Homo-oligomer: A and B are copies of this chain.
Amino acid sequence: MGKRVLIVGGVAGGASVAARVRRLDENAEIVMFERGPHVSFSNCALPYYLSGEIEESETLVLMNPDVFRNQYNIEARTRSEVIAVHAEQKTITVKNLDTGDTYEEAYDKLVLSPGASPIVPPLEGVTSEHVFTVRNVVDIERLQGFVSKQAIEDVVVIGGGFIGIEVAENLVHAGKKVTLVEAQNQVMAPFDYDMVQILHKEMIDNGMDLILGDGIQSVKADHIVLASGKTVKAQAVIMAIGVRPETSLAKEAGLEIGKTGGIKVDHSYRTSAPDIYAVGDAIEVHHKITGQKTRLALAGPAQRQARAAADDMYGIPHRNNGVIGSSAIQVFNMNAASTGLNERTCEQVGYDYDVAFVIPSDKVGIMPNSNPMYFKLIFEKPTGRVLGAQAIGRGNVDKRIDVIASMIMMHATLEDLKELELCYSPVFGTAKDVVNFAALAGLNILNGVIKQVRFNDVRELVEQGATIIDGREPGEFKHGHIKTAINIPLSEFRQRLDEIPTDKPIYVHCRSGQRSYNMVKALTNLGYDNVYNIAGSYLGTCLYEYFNDQQQGREPIVTNYNFR
């Protein structure tokens, strides 16, 4: 007889452990217990059912228990909740949710992959029929049935993370009037405040109402009340504030829980009890860059953890590289991706870091569908080690972030990144790729070759009456410029040096930063010693200011927004 391997949870982590154990051992007895009616469904694809992009909810279920049995000789017991783990006896107690019966099962190895559950604060009205969470296929079918059948018009989504935004967007596509409410001053925590303004703009441009810095206080029959007292019409409310690791079973079994609230595991995803492993959203993991413990609810790492745990049962050594946190999202026509640390996390950990911000074309400018890509690269000082990156644009941001993620995993510096030889055709990119470009900009900053301020500093510069030079051509200046900027094009500045003061700081920008970089270098070489490039230039300034100006009704610092 082979090992008896029991698995709590039958989605990403659990199903992967089961399949891997079977590949390692044809004789193992493998049983997966899943509380819900489905195993092995695609959580990440759930929101796309709301818009009809995924047409049939059955397709969300990737493999049913029959397939597990027939193809892999794995028993998948659905509607079966594991309600207790007896670590000393090496048994679990299972409750059949259809009959209410409970029974015990013995294991040689037990794997906990219970996942994480949506956080629903105990507010007035949150248990109403028209309040939803989105965790599984049943949830999304129920939500879809509700919003489509009852001619629901106004929907509120609480929470601006991945699930909140994806649900909100798909409901917009389904024709709903959607308000997204986020308690922080920005959506999508993996992105910094400056980058995320592009997503804020994209959401409101596509008809979504976006309320930031306000939380939910109570749910009424046809509206919600926010912490600010404001009310928002809503015949349906989706709670997507965040998720909490499912640790109750582990806690009751006496397993150690980490400081982050996830189940504590070692190199091989063993818990504190012998022969019990834990993987997926419920555990705490090692962050490769910071060395700190963290939690990360992503499918890719869960699959790697599952494989490692299975391997460990059979004495196969494996690496544990920790996590860096790579993710991507589509928000209407904008793609956004990030990896590694953002500025907020750098500050929390106390890293000495700096930032390159560039806006190159995502492919050769003369090709159709060439678009600017907003790219932020974060690196350590003085080492130049790559710490993280964020990219947003209409083009293939995920490609560039995957390259950065690879480079972070390999401990790369800006010098390594600068030298990368990536594949190029005008159809796919540019000869000097976005990531090469960002590395060069970063090295200029790291080496002190150029000084910069950033587009989020521009309003303050304007208010202080700083000397801002716009290096674009007069035709571009005419179509929109920073109100206090002087237009001295790159093509004329050598003849107009007398207009550039030598006794105070000069801040130079153009459209995307390329021409201003050249002007700053030239002025510095000519002896101007207090010249700054405005990273992000006019494009970045417009994107940064646009949303806040709209929301706050404040006076724009530009004569006309320009986003091309």
Interface residues of A (CB under 8 A from B): 12, 19, 22-27, 42, 44-45, 48, 53-54, 59-60, 62, 67, 70-73, 162, 298-304, 319, 321, 323-330, 335, 337-339, 364-368, 396, 398-399, 401-403, 405-407, 409-410, 412, 415-416, 419-429, 431-433, 436, 490-492, 494, 515, 517-518, 521-522, 525-526
Contacts and interface: CB of A to CB of B under 8 A. Distances in A.
Contacts of A406: 403, 406-407, 410, 420, 422
Contact of A26 (B70, B327, B522): B522
Nearest to A519: B71
Closest 6 CB pairs of A and B: A299-B431, A70-B491, A410-B410, A26-B525, A399-B399, A328-B423
A217 to B, nearest CB: 32
B59 A366 contact: yes
Contacts of A426: 42, 44-45, 48
A540 B407 CA distance: 32
B425 A366 contact: no
Contacts of A54: 366-367
Nearest to A426: B45
A364 B410 contact: no
26 contacts: A26-B522, A26-B525, A42-B426, A44-B424, A45-B366, A70-B491, A71-B491, A299-B431, A300-B421, A300-B422, A300-B433, A304-B419, A321-B421, A324-B421, A326-B421, A328-B429, A330-B425, A335-B428, A339-B421, A396-B398, A396-B399, A399-B399, A401-B423, A407-B410, A409-B416, A410-B412
A419 B409 contact: yes
Nearest to A47: B426
Nearest to A56: B366
A147 to B, nearest CB: 21
Contacts of A526: 26
A38 B60 CA distance: 55
A70 to B, nearest CB: 4
Given A298-B424, A423-B401, A367 B71 contact: no
Contacts of A324: 421
A304 B437 CA distance: 11
Contact of A326 (B27, B364, B396, B422): B422
A271 to B, nearest CB: 22
A323 B72 contact: no
B402 A44 contact: no
A416 B407 CA distance: 11
Contacts of A398: 396, 399, 423, 425, 428-429
Contacts of A419: 304, 319, 321, 409
A338 B423 contact: yes
A534 to B, nearest CB: 18
Contacts of A367: 45, 48, 53-54
Contacts of A521: 23-24
Contacts of A339: 421, 423
A322 to B, nearest CB: 9
B403 A403 contact: yes
Most chain B CB neighbours (cut-off 10 Å) among A23, A319, A330:
A23
Contacts of A327: 423-425
Contacts of A517: 23
Given A48-B426, A321-B421, A402-B433, 19 more contacts: A26-B526, A42-B426, A44-B364, A45-B426, A60-B366, A71-B490, A162-B425, A299-B431, A300-B436, A303-B431, A321-B419, A324-B421, A329-B427, A330-B428, A399-B402, A402-B402, A405-B422, A406-B410, A409-B420
A407 B405 CA distance: 11
A412 to B, nearest CB: 6
Contacts of A401: 423
A216 to B, nearest CB: 26
Contacts of A67: 491
Contacts of A403: 402-403, 406
A54 B552 CA distance: 42
A302 B432 CA distance: 10
A461 to B, nearest CB: 24
Nearest to A518: B23
Contacts of A326: 421-424
Nearest to A399: B399
Given A521-B23, A526-B26, A494 B73 contact: yes
A23 B441 CA distance: 13
B431 A44 contact: yes
A115 B330 CA distance: 41
A458 B266 CA distance: 45
A423 B337 contact: yes
Contacts of A330: 425, 427-428
Most chain B CB neighbours (cut-off 10 Å) among A321, A339, A420:
A420
